[in-house]
Amino acid sequence: MDDDDRSGQIARIEARIEELAEVAERCRKFILASKVVIFGGVGLLLGAVLGLLGSSAIAPLGAIAAMLGGIVSLGSNVSTLRQTVAEMAAAETLRSDLIGSIDLRLVGEVGRIGS
């Protein structure tokens, strides 16, 4: 494999790492939003149980739905984040191996002027 081919592979791997970083950041945002929804649902359910929201059954049902939806979203995004981080680590290892296999030369080694 020549250095140009390795350079192209490295560029593709770096682009993939950037894509994965964006996916990871989106997952982190969804994880935060899921936690907010869960805690909001808990607060709403607590308010309904204490009678602060009236006697309607809609508030507790909405609170339970929010908590369940938040839990499902949280679990899904945590799982996706773990997979993405693992894939990023593998890509970074591959990139490092490819960089290490390139025959690098110091600039001063080739045709020194004045020697």
The H or E element that residue 47 is part of is helix 3-49
pLDDT in tens, 5-36: 888 899 999 999 999 999 999 999 999 999 99
CA–CA separation, 59 and 115 (whole Å): 85
pLDDT in tens, 97-109: 888 887 767 777 6
Beta strands in 50-105 (DSSP E): none
50 Cβ contact partners less than 8 Å away, ≥ 6 residues apart: none
CA–CA separation, 106 and 22 (whole Å): 35
CA–CA separation, 68 and 60 (whole Å): 12
